[in-house]
Each structure stands twice: as C-alpha cells, then as structure tokens.
Chains A and B, each alone.
Chain A
C-alpha cells in the first residue's frame, strides 16, 4: 500500500503512512523531508496552555486499575474467598492495610454468613405476573412473594429468614439455591401462584410465560396520548392506547381537546377515570399493553351513531408499541381492519423506540449481625456507629452498597456490580456474601480494632491463591476517601 515517499509513523497504533509535507491523522506528527517530526501540539490544547499555566497532571501513570499490580492504592482486596469466622469471635480473616494519599487505610475483609438475607427483584414488564402478596415458587417450593408494582416494573421479594430456615428443609435449600443463582448472575425460573411463570437473570430481559420481554412502556396509556397527540393530529381521527393500568383515548383526552380533535363517538369498556382515561378495560394478562386481550376491538363498544361517521380512522396501539392495529369505520360504523398507513407506522415505531430495554435487576439485601461485626472489632456497636458516621466504608465484593438507615448494618447491593461468583452458601442454609469495611488505621484502632492482626497488602500479594480481577470502572474505587478531596 505505501507509496515510496511515505513514511510510517509509529507514535501510536494507528501507524499512519505520511507523505512528505503532510501530517498524520493526529495532526501532530508529520513527514518533513522524509523524517518523522513532532509538530506543535493540537490547537485546542495549545490555546489553553498558552495562557501561561502549566497543565495539571490528573492521573499518574500506571493507574489503569488492571488489578495485576499490587502496589499501594491500585489494589483492593475483596472479601470473596476470604473465609468466615462464624461462629467464633476471632478477628476477621484479613485485615489489610494500604496507604492512600499518605493516610494508612485498613480494610477488614470477611465473608459474612447471612441468615437474614434475600434479594429484591425488579422485573421490567407490564405483563401481569400475579396478585400482590402471592407466593413465588421455585421448583415448587415457596421462595418469596409478589410485592408492589412500580412504574413499568413488578417487584418480587425472595428469600428472607422465614423461607431459609422457617419452613421445611427442602424449602430452605431451594430458597438458598435460588438466591445463590440470582446473586451469581445465573438464570432462575419462578412461578407465581395464580400468576405467570417468569425466567429471570440479573441484567437480562425477563421471559414471561415463554415471551421474551423486550421493552418497558414509555408511560401509561394516558401519558402516551399526551406524549404523541401532536404527532397523530391530522393523520388519524382517534387513537386508543391500550394499557392495563390506564387506557387513553385521544379524542376525549385533554391533549386531544387542546389540539381540537373532534368527538368520534367512540365508546370504551371499562371504568372512566377522567376524560379520555379508562381503568380496567380488560383483565390483566400478557397480551396487549399488559391486558389479556388479543383482539383490541374487544374493549370497544359500538360507536355512537350521532357522532361517528363512515370512514373514521382509528389507531389502536399498546403502550410499548409492540401491538398495533388500524381500522376504518364502514357504512354501518363497524371498524374494519386495514393496513397501517406509513405515517402512523412511524409513530408506532416512535413509541417502541421510546421504551427502554426491559431488564431483571437484583439487589442482594442482608444484615451484618453482631458476630460478623465482632470479627472486625472487640466492640461491635462502635463499628456500626463508625459506619453511620461515614468514617467506615462498607463494600460488598468491592461494589458500593446502600446502607439502610436506622440500627444495625443492613445494606443492599446490585449484584451485577460485584465480581463473578462472589456468593457462596453454607448448608445451614444461609448465603455467604463478601463484605469489606474500610477505614483509617487510626480510626480502626480507636474503635477497638484488632490492630495486631493487620497485615500489609504486599504480604497478601505473594499468596498465589488470590484471584485477581479487574475493578469495574463504573464502581467507585473502594479505597477512595469517603469525603472527596478538594478539586485540584
């Protein structure tokens, strides 16, 4: 490929061929009479620098957090595989010190056995999974229950001490296995009493009754009318957005009125809330807009002959844009299905496009009991206070946790932010989860920590049995000071 007079620049992996008198793709290295030369820095930077100040180093070299370097603050030891001390109140398996910005930091690393634990599961779907409070089963055993519906999602609560140890031995074992699989990112099939069967996997779309859930609705039916009324105006005479929660009707809806959409004589089934907004047009289900209907016309009553006219154009669409149908009224005011006109296809696609990908997300929730805390300090309540005062940072496999306010150390963590296979179990049955407490060495001594058991990070690094993983770039670095320093 290269011409005879082009030279190859090896300043970066682009490896440009540069002709005499020209610059490479960076505008910084050039071919000057056959020699590779570095030209002035890029104009944008040049202007900044020319103000006379020097540029401030932001990160020093070697700070890529690749996990291979075990020097200083670049490495954080997680509790995964650290072992546990329960039920002996011995110091935690590892108490590690490292220096961060001149301050000696201590990380107390342990794997906690959590009898009081479970997962909160958020399943992005408008399909009906089952009545609130109903039992959720895995392999036929009760492992949790259906809790609240949230916007575009259904919440399940799985595990908890009652299923783990309060029921039959088999119930406990299955609950433990279900929690373990979900926390380690595996897929689990759940069945709701009087409801749907759903396959969940953290960070993946749910599969409800064999249907792969692709998208979350953009809003309820009424909200969808509000959002898209303008785009529909003039292209269609009426629009029904089918939704299990609130079905919207353009011609009656405030948004339609504002645009001057005229009455169409449409008659909906269900209970009218406010103009253009209907509750319960059908039963909940897994078809159109989270209802049980496959035929959208089944939620309509005959059109009012005083208002409707032959040729009236009607679009029916679900809140995710997944289902849509287009009708025109015949001489007897009966809706006749027709192909969706191109202009409306676009708006249906727009609804679909505005729906976010549906996911299952799993938060592990557990409480660090007295014995676990006793592994950190001789005076467990002082650890709790230190955590409350934000002097001690709690992480779970290096991932940030949400600490529940109030007493004790009850926390939640997004399992997808933790390293792979971070969870284990004991036959109690209970889940084993990593937990780390990081604080200043001085604070650690003050709260009655096992200062003589503190080991330096370098003494850990020599141990070949350690698994080294890259830190997730979207997690805050666990050893970063809890209170951030001033901006340089």
Chain B
C-alpha cells in the first residue's frame, strides 16, 4: 500500500511540508542543524498516523462534547478539551479545534525529540509555536484567510504565555456562522486559539441581514458537523455602522473570553475595519517587549 501522507521539504530547503487528506502542515524549526533534522523526522513519524487516529473517532468528534463520552485519541481529547469551556451554552464540536490540536501534537513530537531554539507548526493558519527563553516570533495577520495582504503583526516573545495562534472567518476553509473576514486569536495553546477563533468569528454577525447569504451547512457538505445550521456563503457591502455593530458583537464576546483566560488577544476584521482586544497584538507597528537585564534569583 502506498502511504497517503506526503512528506517533503519545501524548495527553500528549510520548511517541512506534511500533507495527508485535509491536513496540510508547514513546519519550520530553528536551532542546530542536527536537532532540526531530528525534529523534522519526529514530526514526520508522528504525522503518518494522525489522520487515521482522528477518523477513527470522527462521528464522535462531529458531535457536541460530552463529558460522559470522551474521545480516546490524544489529539481528539485535546480537541474536546479546547471546546468544552463553550459547551453547551454555545453550539460547538471538537472539530472546531482540529487544526490547532494537530499542530500542537506535531510540535510536541518535535520538541520531545530535539532541542530547538524555536519552532512553529502551521496547520492551514492555525499555528502552534515553541519558544525557548529570549526567542520570539513575529506573526503577520491577514485580512481574510485566503488573502495574502497583511494588516498587522504581533510579536510573540517567550515570556508571554501565548503558544497558539488561529484565524477563522467565513471565507476560510471551514464554515462560519458569522460574517467576519478574519478573526485572529492568540491563546496559550493552538487548540484553544482555534476553538476561540471559531467562537469569536461566529459572534461577529448581523443576524438576518439581507446582504448576507446563508445556507444550511448540510446542503453544502452533507456530513458537516454544523448540520442544518445556516453558514455564511456571501457577505455583500455593509455600511460603516453595520460593520461597526457586527464587530462590536464580536468584541463583546472576545472580552468575555479574555476575562476568563481562554484567549490572550484577538484581532477582528470586517470589510476594512479592525478591532483589537488585548494588549499583545500591535497593528502595523510591531513592538517587542524589552525586559531590562538584571539579577534574578534562579
């Protein structure tokens, strides 16, 4: 049997590309050459069973999480754990955290196998990061998940708790109940960020607005976890006031997640307007936190 998974270095010779079915990862590790190789090997080895592990429990993962019927796979459990804080008040299934949870798992395999200065695993925009002390990443944010134009950057330093980034929006790969072009979330883990981005993107909304075309998810994808729920397919031009009102609904939800520690920061984007919540994200002007050097007790 020919293995499904594709494992290759990208032509730049630095980044590793892993693909299996809908899972598409871009990975980059920084550190000593031999450790980068160890990490990439570990990533590849861990990766080849991931899709099968998830598919074995797919029906369960497409249902709302239920403490009485917890999934068994390590990634599946991380997914369920990430969406649990929102359920049952808000409809959400573990699938909302699948990309982040997979990214985390691969990153963990890498950091277990090798000593790296820093590394990221980018699962279609949902990113798990690893930072050793004094390392940082600058992360760009896009206006919409499929578009390359950056509207801001965030500098993530090792002393901050953020280790996960996710972006969600109606024109991304997954269906959204809301109308946000892109919601980028920083959280302590990639799975948490992934779930939160879905929740916030759903909250950026103008219910029953005529310019928004919505269709039942199952008419588009019969086996989608959203079932009969209406998912956004097109958002027509909105007035500034409408944009502002939709974003405000999202910001309100964002603040509640921030207060409970489920996220650290978020940027919400809709038709040219952007709202930022939390102080980690800087727009257009990246800023690094400089810590004064001094003696501390080890």
Q: Mark A208-227, 1 if CB is under 8 A from B, else 0.
A: 00000000000110110010
Let me know if A58 and B24 touch, CB within 8 A. no
Which residues in B have their C-beta under 8 angstroms from that of A53?
11
- Contact residues, B269-298 vs A (CB, 8 A): 296-298
Check A65/B221 contact, CB under 8 A, given A14-B22, A58-B16, A474-B113: no
Q: Which of B10, B21, B45, B124 contacts A12 (CB 8 A)?
A: B21
A332 within 8 A of B: no
Interface positions of A from 440 to 476, Cβ below 8 Å from B:
473-476
Q: Are B42 and A474 in contact (CB under 8 A)?
A: yes
B12: chain A residues at CB < 8 Å are 48
8 Å CB interface, A78-136 against B: none
How distant is the Cα of A486 from the Cα of B37 in the complex, in angstroms? Answer: 10
Q: Name the one of B10, B33, B36, B220 contacting A55, with C-beta atoms under 8 angstroms.
A: B10
Q: Report A34 CB to chain B, min CB distance, Å.
A: 15
Given A220-B297, A487-B37, A473 and B113 contact (CB-CB distance below 8 Å):
yes
For B111, the closest partner residue in chain A by CB is A474
Could you tell me the distance between the alpha carbons of A454 and B10 in the complex, rounded to whole angstroms? 40
Is there contact, CB below 8 Å, between A11 and B21?
A: yes
Interface size class of A (residues with CB under 8 A): 35 or more
Docked Cα-Cα span, A18 to B34, in Å, equals: 43
A27 to chain B, nearest CB (A): 6
Check if A49 sits within 8 Å of B26, measured CB to CB. Answer: no
Q: Which residue of A lies closest to B4 (CB)?
A: A12
Determine if A404 is an interface residue (Cβ-Cβ < 8 Å): no
Query: B219 interface residue, CB < 8 Å from A?
Result: yes
Interface assignment of B160: CB less than 8 Å from any CB of chain A: no
- Which of B47-55, B73-81, B190-198, B199-207 is the interface stretch? B47-55
CB <8 Å contact, A484 and B45: no
Using A473-B42, A474-B109 as known contacts, say yes or no to A27 and B173 having CB atoms under 8 A apart. yes
CB distance from B239 to the nearest CB of A (A): 32
Cα–Cα distance between A268 and B259 once the two chains are bound (Å): 35
The answer to the question of A19 belonging to the interface, with a C-beta cut-off of 8 Å to chain B, is yes
Contacting residues, chain B, for A474 (C-beta < 8 A): 42, 109, 112-113
A306 sits at the interface (CB 8 A)? no
Complex Cα–Cα for A12 and B33 (A)? 33
Q: Is the CB of B298 within 8 A of A56?
A: no
Q: Give 1 or 0 for each of B1-35: 1 = CB within 8 Å of chain A CB.
A: 01110011111111011011110101000000110
Contact string, A37-56, partner B, CB cutoff 8 A, digits 1/0? 00000111100110101111
B48: chain A residues at CB < 8 Å are: 64
A44 lies within 8 A of B24 (CB): yes
Q: Is B40 interfacial (CB 8 A cutoff)?
A: yes
Complex contacts, A22 vs chain B, CB 8 Å: 220-221
Q: When chains A and B are docked, how far (Å) is the Cα of A27 from the Cα of B173?
A: 8
Nearest residue, chain B, Cβ from A53: B11
Which single member of A18, A57, A65, A223 contacts B8 (CB below 8 Å)? A57
**Smallest CB separation, A485 vs chain B (Å):** 8
Indicate whether A58 sits within 8 Å of B221 (C-beta atoms), given known contacts A473-B109, A487-B13.
Answer: no
A128 to B93: give the CA distance in the assembly, Å: 45
User: 10 shortest A-B CB distances, which residue pairs?
Assistant: A12-B21, A53-B11, A484-B34, A13-B55, A474-B112, A26-B22, A17-B222, A25-B22, A56-B9, A55-B8
Task: Offer 29 A-B interface pairs, CB within 8 angstroms, sorted by A.
Answer: A3-B222, A12-B20, A12-B21, A12-B55, A13-B21, A13-B51, A14-B51, A18-B221, A19-B220, A19-B221, A22-B220, A26-B21, A27-B22, A44-B124, A48-B10, A48-B12, A54-B11, A56-B10, A58-B16, A59-B41, A63-B45, A65-B45, A219-B297, A223-B297, A473-B109, A476-B113, A483-B34, A484-B37, A487-B14
Known: A2-B223, A488-B9. 14 other contacts (CB 8 A): A6-B222, A13-B52, A17-B221, A22-B220, A25-B22, A25-B221, A55-B17, A56-B8, A63-B45, A65-B45, A226-B296, A473-B45, A487-B37, A488-B13
B contact residues vs A (CB 8 Å cutoff): 2-4, 7-14, 16-17, 19-22, 24, 26, 33-34, 36-38, 40-42, 44-46, 48, 51-52, 55, 58, 109, 112-113, 124, 146, 173, 219-223, 296-298
